[in-house]
Amino acid sequence: MNEKLFNLNQGEEGLDDLFRNAADAEQPAAPAHAWLKMNLLLDEEEQKRRRGFAWWWLPLLLFMAGHRHFVPQPGPLEVEKTKSFSRQLLPHESSGKESSPKEAAHTAATGTQQSADQKRDASFIQLEKQHLNATPSRKFVSEISTPEVSVKKELNQPILEMSPESALTKEESMTLVVSNELEDKALYPALPKKQQLSIPVSVSNTDPAIPGQTIVSTPKKQPVTYRFYVYGGGGLDRGFVSGNHESELKPAYGAGLGLELNKRWAMQVGFTQTRKLYEAPGNAYTPKAGSYYDNPNFVIQEVYADCAILEIPISVRYNFLPNQQHQVFGMLSMQNAIMQRESYDYYYTRFGQPAKGYYTYRTKALELFSGIGLSVGYEYRISDRLHVQAAPYFNIPTKGIGEGSVKLRSAGLFAGLRYSFWKKK
């Protein structure tokens, strides 16, 4: 490339000459679409400026509207009272010259009328105060003055105290009543209609401390009653026979369903799984007819038993404290038993010689009405549905059960939860 094109300091023409020649040279005319685009940009800028000016007035209008709405404005009654008080404070203007009898009479009549107006305004204020106090036993003397009374006051004549009825004529009394009603309406805005409020209070309907007030007493909340309930829990059980014989405590658990007849009475049926380990004398065990130990040459001396029994009690329950947080109840039960497994260790004599035997029976036999159960317990109400309870019990046998027809007693403690459902209508 030619280096002379890029060296501006060489040649006859310098840098200034190059700029001057370029400025003097004629340039091509701008196309029409460029001018159109320029006009559109200028119009858009003008519209933005106008919109900004319009939005500037909006906060000012909002401020003026809020000031008009929230700042209290003086009412017509306040303006009238202000004019009245300013009229009372104006001094009496006199020219200092001696007035004629006509002017003196006119001045006296005008002053008497102003005095009467002032007295009437004062009486309105006094009646308004008495109306606000609203004491049942108030007694007052009217200070409302007529023109005759004002003249008597100026002449220093004795004036008798009069009641409002005697001091005012019928027309003036009506005017006074209407004025008081208008002032009350102006002073006190219209209140909404009286609403019936149910406010829980602890006073009676004939409380003299609140005259003229209707008291709505809150009724005491009654607990909800239910038709059915379920219960479940566990405890400890001990089976034994009469006499001084060994036995052991074993865990027991169970559940059931109950029906509430009323607030005090209920019926329930359930099951209890128990295991009974006990020692029985030979005369308490009676072998079944035709069994191995049903032999006159065999004499049972002692039996050690380990039995798994499913008990099915049918109970009647009585509540001593119905609808209370703390409940005491009693139950009477009819016991039924299913002998699931019976294991016995026999100590006996065979033809006069000591012997020992062991046998397990799994008969699954059902023993109906095998005993009577008695129980007295305590129950605490957690909610209308849920209760926690605990009750000791004692079962008395009515007949023998199992392979040896043993009259087995039992005692223990059962604790658990009771849940009610199905509301009574």
Encode pLDDT of 30-43 as tens digits. 777 777 888 888 88
Q: Which amino acid is at 66?
A: G
Tokens 């006996």 correspond to 348
pLDDT bin (cut points 50, 70, 90) of residue 24 is confident
Q: Where are the domains of the chain?
A: 118-128+142-161+176-185, 226-423
Q: How far apart are CA 196 and CA 253, in angstroms?
A: 56
- Strand 226-240 to 249-260 pairing: antiparallel
DSSP H or E run through 269:
strand 265-281
> What is residue 422's predicted lDDT score, i.e. its pLDDT?
86
Most confident of 113-122, 242-251, 354-363: 354-363
Sequence-distant (≥ 6) Cβ neighbours of residue 241 within 8 angstroms: 278, 279, 280, 281, 284, 406, 407, 408, 409
User: Does 95 score more than 50 pLDDT?
Assistant: no
Q: Is the pLDDT of residue 118 over 60?
A: yes
> Taking all residues of the chain, what is their mean pLDDT, rounded to a whole number?
75
pTM value is: 0.49
CATH topology of domain 226-423: Porin (2.40.160)
pLDDT grade for 98, boundaries at 50, 70 and 90: very low
Query: How high is the pLDDT of residue 340?
Result: 95
Cα–Cα distance between 10 and 20 in angstroms, integer?
A: 17
Encode pLDDT of 273-322 as tens digits.
999 999 999 999 999 998 999 999 999 999 999 999 999 999 999 999 98
Q: In terms of pLDDT, which residue wins out, 19 or 339?
A: 339
Rounded Cα gap, residues 391 and 226, in angstroms: 22
